[in-house]
Structure 1
Amino acid sequence: MTTALALQTGPDDRPAHRDPNVLRWLGAYGASMTGDGVYYVALSWAAVQVASPAQAGLVMSVSALPRAVLMLGGGVIADRFGPRRVVIGSDAVRCVAVLAVAGLLMLTGPGLWPLAALALVFGIVDAVFVPAVGALPARLTGKGQLARVQGMRGLAYRFAEIAGAPLGGLGVAFGGAAAAFGAAGLLIALSIPLLMTLRVRELPPDGTAGAGSTTGRRDLVAGLRYIRGHRVLAPLTLAIALGDLGFVAPLNVGLILLADERGWGAVGMGWVLAGFGTGAGAVSLLLAVRGRMPHAGQVVGWSVIAGSVAIGALVYVPSVLAAVGVAVLIGLLAGLSGAMCGALLQTQAEPAYLGRVTAVSGLISLGLTPLSMPFTAAAIGAFGLGPVYVVSAAVCGLGGVVALAVPGLRRAELPR
């Protein structure tokens, strides 16, 4: 781990919230994510206007397949060419693609194929963007600040969630889908000059264990072997997979069916989701201010287990108000475990492998676990909400058990 130690020292190890370099990155990330939110509103609205519901759903899901298939290769690209360069290139491609479709819609009106092509481009670009975004913070600041950076990133993401959809709606209301796409492109464009001003730490020659490979395939295999043989990253990856597998479906398709069965309606479901977002945002703020939490491995384990209990309890609450309270608790615990997992990935992985490590995590969270949602919906139809929520909670809880049972992960700490 000589590279990791070498990168801890240096003049830029100031508190992340006072580091202009980190703040420029945070502004770029927030602008890009807000643009994403506007883009999804514009895409869904335009697709519904020109296609049947089934075709519109297909357009919205086109990006999922290339993102899942190409994500691991995207990690190799991020490690080989550097995360800063890859993020700049990704945002540039997304900006040009969105503005091109905005111009096309202004000239010819909405069409199904341009929308599908745009969604496909976003899926391909996301496959390299996600690993590069995950690998970049370790090049910007010291390891002792990465937990705080995770909190700051969580706050930026929540802000983008809150601002993106209303901005997209305003764009559609005042100028149609073309205006909304244009706004999305301009927001993404704002990130590029900020990213270009970032100062990144170069890896020393002895830290590029996999960089001498002549093919991307060898780099990928080297990355997977690195994760498999690591005493913290291997069990942490398994814990993330189990936690996400038991968490994603109940809080997405499961919540829709729960709100429908209980008569809460869309408004009630919205309040429950708002409760979850409030809890997750509060944890992000806590980490951004505190900067570090001791016993990180144990925090991951116990917060995942406690969160799994809260997930199982959600199906049995008697009212919307109680469901909102439980959702706040789930958000707090899920936000805490997610931030700790992210910080441990950042600090335990050699920087030369961070793109590939992030790609594996991203593939699990964004590529594989969403595939569980149709199976969860089918299981709810066959067995009911209660049993499926309990099983999902048990699967999620297994992630916490793994974190506490494996000594390397249980004893893992974040650097000071």
Structure 2
Amino acid sequence: MSTATKPAGRRPDAVSAPLRRRPFRLLYAGQCLSRTGDFVFQVSLAGYAITADNPALLAYALFGQASGTVLMLLVGGALADRLGARRVMLAADAARAVATCVVALQVAGGVESTWPIALCGLLLGLGDGAFEPAFTLAFTELLPKVELLAANSLQSIALRTAGIAGAALGGVLLAAVGAALSLGLASAGFTLALVMLLAAGRWPTRERVSSGDGLLKEASGGLRYVAAHRWVWVSIASFGVSVALVVAPAKALLPLTTSDVLGGGAGVYSLIVGTQAAGALAGGLLVNRLRGLAPGVVVFGGMTLVCGGFALLTLSASIAVSVGIAALIGAALSAATVAWAATLQSKVPAELIGRVSSVDWLISLGVSPLALVVVPQLLAFGSAGTVLLVASLIALVVSAATALVPDVRRLTWARPEL
């Protein structure tokens, strides 16, 4: 493809390489804005729900968003593979801009009914579910395989930075201009992303020949591919175990563990979470330097470190040590997820990337709420620290074993095109 020519005089695998391509640069800048806006939206809506003394409003909005995301992920990848990433992303950004704008108007009008907010949350979630597989596919349409790791590294940096900046900006805007204007500015992030995607123009894509099958049957092609390739289903299943046993439950268990072991309150927990976020930012930036290691080692070696880190957090009695472990967890998790995204994009056939990505997202998102429901039941059998320690050790063994699976171990990075 014409957009994938090698930039002259520069390393094609350098972190900055994808940014030298105008369509990717505009897509990336737009998503930096929209993801920041997404965090502003979350903080602003939460602040409004607290001020209005209506916690159900936030719960319904989040439930609608989660439901919409999962529903759309069932077919979102098939839509991206059928229509192309750009069309689907344009529709997704438009849906999210409308949903967040309507919420801002409802808040400005003093509407406190939960159902209109929930419907907007559903529309926002449908946009999210359509966007993510298409965004994964867009990388492969815009970039050569050798630049995919760098592009995903940039994406990780943007996401972490957006989380930090968006949460802070949301709090400032909420205090300075109120919930309605703050939510309106969050909607502007999605609108600007849409404008930048339009400005990027059309880009070359592979020719798509319709299979003649319905969308749901076409979507099942992703499941069939995953089931037929051991490196894919083993990897996705392993990630699912880590998310279900460690990553998701830690959100509920780690605050209790911190209090029990370190004797600290919310301030200590906030310090650990903040340090983990800083580590994740560093991990996303540095993962491109790990090309000397096989992808399977980076991905599941990283997940092994993540699980081991959470196990150590349950045992550490030193705040300084816990902070250092948290930074390692953040860096390892970021490096593992970036390397996994690049591997999936470079190894899966182009015509199936959207659908396989949908399966990957479904597993990750699907096990999280289930884990958070099961966790409180386990506390009847032991303390939060004990439950997290046992779960982390089980996931550690699974992650380490995954790195040894022959098909996973033999994965290689894409090489520069000559």
TM-score with structure 1 setting the length: 0.90
What are the ranges of 5 or more consecutive residues in structure 1 without an aligned counterpart?
A: 1-6
Residue aligning to 1:11:
5
Residues in 1 aligned to 2:330 and 2:212: alpha-carbon distance in whole angstroms: 42
CA contact (8 A) 1:294 1:414 kept: no
- 1:223-372 correspondence runs (5 A): 223-261=222-260, 262-287=262-287, 290=289, 292-372=291-371
Q: How many Å apart are 1:293 and its aligned residue? A: 4.8
Counterpart amino acid of residue 24 in structure 2: V
Residues in 1 aligned to 2:282 and 2:58: alpha-carbon distance in whole angstroms: 35
Residue aligning to 2:174:
172
Counterpart amino acid of residue 278 in structure 2: T
Q: How many Å apart are 1:125 and its aligned residue? A: 1.9
Q: How many Å apart are 1:107 and its aligned residue? A: 3.2
Residue aligning to 1:123:
125
- 1:15-414 correspondence runs (5 A): 15-53=17-55, 56-198=58-200, 199-204=202-207, 211-261=210-260, 262-287=262-287, 290=289, 292-414=291-413
Residues in 1 aligned to 2:43 and 2:19: alpha-carbon distance in whole angstroms: 31
CA contact (8 A) 1:25 1:195 kept: yes
Q: How many Å apart are 1:167 and its aligned residue? A: 1.4
Q: How many Å apart are 1:322 and its aligned residue? A: 2.0
Counterpart amino acid of residue 371 in structure 1: L
CA contact (8 A) 2:89 2:131 kept: yes
Residues in 2 aligned to 1:144 and 1:22: alpha-carbon distance in whole angstroms: 15
Matched residue count: 405
CA contact (8 A) 1:245 1:396 kept: no
Q: How many Å apart are 1:186 and its aligned residue? A: 0.9
CA contact (8 A) 2:249 2:371 kept: no
Residues in 1 aligned to 2:158 and 2:4: alpha-carbon distance in whole angstroms: 26
- Across the aligned residues of Structure 1 and Structure 2, the Cα RMSD in angstroms comes to 2.3
Percent identity over paired residues: 28
Residues in 2 aligned to 1:57 and 1:9: alpha-carbon distance in whole angstroms: 43
Residues in 2 aligned to 1:34 and 1:169: alpha-carbon distance in whole angstroms: 13
- 1:375-401: CA deviations, max 9, x gaps? 123313431123311222134224423
CA contact (8 A) 1:250 1:311 kept: no
CA contact (8 A) 1:243 1:398 kept: no
Q: Secondary structure at the match of 1:393?
A: helix
Q: How many Å apart are 1:126 and its aligned residue? A: 1.6
CA contact (8 A) 1:145 1:291 kept: no
- 1:248-282: CA deviations, max 9, x gaps? 23431112222343442221111101111111111
CA contact (8 A) 2:3 2:142 kept: no
What are the ranges of 5 or more consecutive residues in structure 2 without an aligned counterpart?
A: none
Q: Secondary structure at the match of 1:251?
A: helix
